[in-house]
Structure 1
Amino acid sequence: MPTYANELVSIITPVYNKERYIAQTIDSIRAQTVGDWELLLIDDCSTDRSAAIIEQYRKQDVRIRYHKLAQNGGAAVARNEALTRAKGRYVAFLDADDLWKPEKLEKQLAFMRDKGVGFTYTAIEMIDENGAPRRGKRPVREKVDYHYLLSNTIIACSSVLMDREIVGDFRMPLVRKGQDFATWLSILRKGHMAYGLDEALVLYRVAPGSISSNKWAALARTWHIYRKQEQLPLVSSLWHFGLYTFHAIKKYWM
């Protein structure tokens, strides 16, 4: 097993044309009540001012690390690059347009150390493109196993914190969309459980039109994960797909 910096949290953030939000995202990390972290910003060949904004922060804070990919590869490639470079025992994910509340890491680290578990996530609140509340707290389940997750994508990527000494080293499947869901499934399939901290410590940004424009693509990639990655039988795939669709509708509209 690789040797990690024992108390360090490696925060992984892929960046692609996020000049509008990246400063707010970095500020939310620097405001954390826990200071033992490194931020790995992996630039997936942005064409806007993201790199220039990040450079200003990097000059101010040695905990911020920046790497630009040689070619655009998608979020999975960027996150895997960060996972290879990460020094911390703990790994957290934060998308470049989402935000953390200041006590996020402190509370989640205490939660997972108290329970002695390696895979945790938290509740979230949804905000719009301007940061205004869009929907209140989405409650989370105390424990999520492999079979439950197949039917309900309850784990928000920006809320996840893992202990690599417990779950082991891992990488994300090289797919353009849905790689986080596929990753959680691959970890839980090995017998691990995901433990939910039912407190909204993440502000999840929903861009206008993103739900309606991407809903069919989301359904298609979920079906692909069932059949190709997880190799579920047809009947089982149909059963979980029906439940997944219901929970997706409930998450955004009910």
Structure 2
Amino acid sequence: MKKNLVSIITPMYNSEKFIEATIKSVIEQTYQDWEMIIIDDCSTDKSANIVKAYVEKDDRIKYIRNKSNLGVSSARNLALENASGQFLAFLDSDDIWTKEKLETQINFMNKNNYAITFTSYELMDENNKPLNKVIPVPKNVDYKKLLKGNVLGCLTVVIDQTKINFDIRMSGVRHEDYVLWLSILKKGHTAHGINEVLALYRKSSNSLSGNKIKAAKWTWNIYRNVEKIPLHKAIYYFINYGINGIKKS
């Protein structure tokens, strides 16, 4: 594990329209001690050619292709297995970061000795046009607060592996990032927010988060079958999840 190195976890599937902008947003970071691990989940478009061109120019960019299409959780786990940094960051192949994202967040974490942090982000459309919608974040969140709704945008989260005493992996359960954040906070950690827009999330027509009914079902499954929360408490958290979802939208 390399001190201060940020391992950027990027799953990719048929992202030829967006992956170049994603890579450029990493290359342009003011914090330059990073590696970007791009896992190609058997793309059938020109995504691989675009990434390989950047791999030839910058050896910090790693390209790995899955033998078969296994889904986003497996792709992220393969990237995590190949990560060598002290810090883990997550950036999907259609999202982008502002230039100061990593520098701001790593300095914030090192100064305060934090294990996990996250930031505000803004929504954009498929043509990089801002949707004038900013997702703000609280100053901090613990396990019980997080059960009331996932306020940690995956594209903004950074984890210091040296402060987490178990292997970081995605479970494969729907809303796998939410499951991971809960597992970390359940150990007693607090996630600390930077209420500053440091990332742009692409709201596409087929975004999973766009399907509110599916998202609600997945959240209920996490409460009952992953976290094993008693029914009456699960109902309480689910009501809060619904209220926070309305506020967020």
Q: For this structure pair, what is the TM-score category when the shorter chain's length is used for normalisation?
A: over 0.9
Three-state SS of the structure 1 residue aligned to 2:29 is: coil
1:245 is aligned to 242
Q: Give the C-alpha shift of residue 251 in structure 1.
A: 1.2
1:188 is aligned to 185
Q: Is it true that 1:174 corresponds to 2:155 in the alignment?
A: no
| One-letter amino acid matched to 2:168 | F
Q: Give the C-alpha shift of residue 249 in structure 1.
A: 2.1
| One-letter amino acid matched to 2:136 | P
Q: Kindly, what percent of the aligned residue pairs are identical? A: 45
Q: Distance in 1 between matches of 2:225 and 2:31?
A: 40
Q: Give the C-alpha shift of residue 187 in structure 1.
A: 0.7
Q: Is it true that 1:69 corresponds to 2:66 in the alignment?
A: yes
Q: Distance in 1 between matches of 2:243 and 2:93?
A: 28
Q: Give the C-alpha shift of residue 128 in structure 1.
A: 1.0
Q: Is it true that 1:37 corresponds to 2:34 in the alignment?
A: yes
Q: Give the C-alpha shift of residue 250 in structure 1.
A: 1.7
Q: Is it true that 1:137 corresponds to 2:134 in the alignment?
A: yes
Q: Distance in 2 between matches of 1:212 and 1:75?
A: 14
Q: Distance in 1 between matches of 2:194 and 2:209?
A: 29
Three-state SS of the structure 1 residue aligned to 2:44 is: coil
Counterparts of residues 32-181 of structure 1 (less than 5 Å): 32-168=29-165, 169-175=167-173, 177-181=174-178
- Asked if the contact 2:209/2:215 (under 8 Å) is kept, the reply is no
Three-state SS of the structure 1 residue aligned to 2:189 is: coil
2:194 is aligned to 197
Q: Give the C-alpha shift of residue 212 in structure 1.
A: 8.4
Deviations 1:152-181 (A, max 9, x none): 211000000110000233211123x31000
Gaps of 5+ in 2: none
Q: Give the C-alpha shift of residue 213 in structure 1.
A: 5.6
| One-letter amino acid matched to 1:53 | I
Gaps of 5+ in 1: none
Three-state SS of the structure 1 residue aligned to 2:63 is: strand
TM-score norm. by structure 1 comes to 0.94
1:218 is aligned to 215
Deviations 1:66-121 (A, max 9, x none): 11111111111111111111000011000111110000000001111111111000
Change in Cα spacing, 1:205 to 1:213, as seen in structure 2 (3 Å) is closer
Q: Distance in 1 between matches of 2:138 and 2:184?
A: 17
Q: Tell me how large the CA RMSD over aligned residues is.
A: 1.3
Deviations 1:210-232 (A, max 9, x none): 47861111111111111111000
| One-letter amino acid matched to 1:233 | P
Three-state SS of the structure 2 residue aligned to 1:195 is: strand
Change in Cα spacing, 1:31 to 1:143, as seen in structure 2 (3 Å) is same
Three-state SS of the structure 2 residue aligned to 1:151 is: coil
Number of equivalent positions:
248
